């Protein structure tokens, strides 16, 4: 497994964690480190900036998660992976182009769409996918600059990380979000929003949430926000379930947080005291936690959302959730479904429309009948579905790269003798593609930081960054800072 004339050329489509970790795993593999295999890697993204959902799918007030960018930045900044942004697979670059210019390709495009919630009324005006809202407040250049924030009463359906992110952004004051990299148009939209009450609905109980203890506690942190609990949601937990909760440290901490809020809420009600936020200040907005609620129907009038109907649920003896036959209607002006992501089909790549993933076995892309497509691989959410965190993505990368190495060792793949590294750049230039590079990203990064330094947050402190939202401006700033995009 050695190539004396040409390096093995790999294209990776998608520059989020799944794409970066796949490239990094290959570079750190023993055949490459020992010099047995020489590789050349190009990392493509449809957006002008790298990092995928870490830049465009995580709430701006989550700096710990955003810190993953630091690790990804360190990897791409070494210079042994060439980043080419603002290149759309299927339009600017086709599957045939990849076969011509590369010896193998890894698709790591993630899952960007909202999973469906198949209930009546979900299509009404005022019913939104959470993924679209996240892309808006994160400044994704492919989304409109405005969002219809017109409702006082808002529902968020789901008990996962995205539901928490959306709920926090909707319930926090816009001034608190100025501490983050929130774009100017998002700040103005949220500042003008009339939202007073955000309702989070989950099908299961407090012990079945996906929240970490810290994420649960953070829900009550915003100034002016009161968390409102329903006593029935905790009273419904049986003694056996309480024992199971106490036996699991994470679950115990999460449920204890909810129980503490309820206890304080009931104490104030019994004493006739006015509610306050957790800092003792006046209440301006409320965040209502609703468990044991199965969505049944989005209610509407004249084509617009006016409310939502739920059925209360419970767990059976086997731990499965079922309906109780009790239905409750809530008056609402908007509904956000945060019930999961779903992968998009890629032109010319075998796709499973039921699961929203590329057909694959251990990362090797296959046809629907299981026939392996030589030299084509997948990693991350587009490989296994939108579940798991960064650790799972790294494990995925190891499996996928192992499959790649096995195919090279078996003689299924080899480096073509006459592939020129910069031919792909000439192809893009001939097609008028205004691609960006790593040098371009560092220029855009510095520009966004300078915008932040020139502005202040609600406390008069300089902001760390302000995102550039318009694609044309991102490309302009990036290309002004670009040098010849060769690999170091």
pLDDT, residue 3, reads: 40
Give all strands (DSSP E) within 360-485, no chain letters.
360-361, 364-366, 372-378
User: Taking residues 281-289, what's their average pLDDT?
Assistant: 96
Handedness of CA 461, 174, 337, 325 (dihedral sign): positive
113-341: CATH topology: FAD/NAD(P)-binding domain (3.50.50)
Distance CA(31)–CA(28), nearest Å, equals 9
pLDDT band for position 486 (cuts 50, 70, 90) = very low
487 pLDDT band (50/70/90 cuts)?
very low
**Cβ pair 299, 291 in contact under 8 A:** no
Q: What pLDDT, in 10s, does the model give residues 466-475? A: 999 999 999 9
Whole-prediction pTM: 0.93
Which of the four CATH numbers 3.30.2320.20, 3.40.640.10, 3.40.50.1220, 3.40.50.720 does domain 8-112+343-480 have? 3.40.50.720
Domain with CATH 3.40.50.720 in the chain: 8-112+343-480
DSSP assignment, residue 206? G
pLDDT tens string 24-77 = 999 999 999 999 999 999 999 999 999 999 999 888 888 677 778 899 999 999
Q: Contact, 45 vs 107, CB < 8 A?
A: no
Per-residue confidence at 2, pLDDT binned at 50, 70, 90?
very low
- What is the mean pLDDT of the segment spanning 369-378? 97
Examine the pLDDT at 391 and tell me if it is beyond 80.
no
3-state secondary structure of 217: helix
Residue 305 host element (H or E): strand 304-315
pLDDT bucket at 421, cuts 50 / 70 / 90 = confident
Query: Band of the pLDDT at 488, cuts 50, 70, 90?
Result: very low
Domain with CATH 3.50.50.60 in the chain: 113-341
**Residues 317-364: pLDDT tens digits?**
888 899 999 999 999 999 999 999 999 999 999 999 999 999 999 999
Q: What is the pLDDT of residues 152-185, one digit of tens each?
A: 999 999 998 899 999 999 999 999 999 999 999 9
Q: What does the alpha-carbon distance between residue 278 and residue 258 come to, in Å, rounded to a whole number?
A: 13
How many whole angstroms separate alpha carbon 187 and alpha carbon 196?
Answer: 17
**How far is 484 from 389, CA to CA, in rounded Å?**
35
């Amino acid at each position: 497994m050695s190539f004396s004339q040409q390096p093995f050329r790999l294209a990776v489509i998608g520059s989020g964690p799944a794409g970066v970790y796949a490239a990094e795993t290959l570079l750190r593999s023993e055949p490459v480190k020992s010099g047995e295999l020489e590789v050349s890697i190009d990392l493509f993204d449809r957006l002008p900036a790298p990092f995928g959902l870490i830049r465009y799918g995580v709430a701006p007030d989550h700096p710990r998660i955003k810190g993953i960018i630091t690790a990804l930045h360190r990897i791409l900044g070494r210079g042994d992976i060439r980043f080419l942004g603002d290149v759309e697979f299927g339009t600017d670059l086709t599957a045939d182009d990849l076969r011509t210019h590369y010896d193998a390709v890894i698709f790591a495009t993630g899952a960007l769409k909202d999973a469906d919630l198949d209930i009546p009324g979900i299509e009404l005006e005022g019913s939104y996918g959470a993924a679209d809202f996240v892309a808006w407040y994160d400044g994704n250049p492919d989304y409109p600059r405005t969002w219809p924030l017109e409702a006082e009463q808002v529902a968020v359906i789901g008990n996962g990380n995205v539901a928490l992110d959306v709920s926090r952004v909707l319930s926090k004051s816009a001034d608190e979000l100025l501490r983050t990299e929130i774009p100017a148009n998002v700040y103005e939209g949220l500042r003008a929003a009339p939202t007073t009450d955000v309702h989070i609905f989950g099908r299961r109980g407090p012990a079945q949430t996906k929240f970490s203890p810290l994420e649960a506690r953070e829900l009550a942190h915003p100034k002016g926000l009161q968390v409102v609990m329903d006593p029935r949601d905790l009273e419904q937990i049986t003694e056996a379930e309480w024992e199971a909760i106490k036996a699991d440290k994470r679950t115990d901490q999460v449920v204890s947080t909810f129980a503490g809020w309820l206890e304080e809420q009931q104490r104030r009600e019994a004493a006739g005291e006015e509610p306050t936020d957790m800092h003792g200040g006046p209440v301006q907005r409320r965040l209502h936690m609703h468990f044991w609620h199965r969505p049944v129907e989005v209610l509407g009038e004249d084509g617009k959302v006016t409310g939502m109907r739920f059925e209360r649920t419970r767990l059976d003896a086997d731990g499965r959730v079922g309906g109780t036959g009790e239905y409750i209607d809530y008056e609402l002006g908007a509904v956000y479904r945060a019930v999961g992501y779903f992968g998009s089909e890629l032109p010319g790549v075998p796709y499973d429309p039921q699961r929203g993933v590329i057909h694959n076995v251990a990362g090797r892309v296959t046809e629907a009948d299981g026939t392996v497509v030589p030299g084509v691989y997948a990693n991350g959410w587009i490989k296994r579905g939108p579940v798991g965190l960064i650790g799972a993505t790294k494990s995925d990368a190891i499996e996928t790269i192992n499959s790649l190495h096995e195919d090279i060792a078996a003689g299924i793949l080899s480096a073509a003798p006459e592939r020129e590294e910069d031919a792909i750049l000439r192809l893009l230039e001939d097609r008028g593609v205004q691609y960006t590079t790593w040098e371009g990203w560092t220029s855009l990064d510095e520009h966004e930081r300078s915008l932040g330094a020139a502005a202040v947050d609600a406390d008069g402190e300089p902001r760390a960054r302000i995102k550039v939202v318009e694609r044309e401006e991102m490309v302009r700033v990036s290309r002004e800072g670009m040098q010849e995009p060769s690999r170091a």
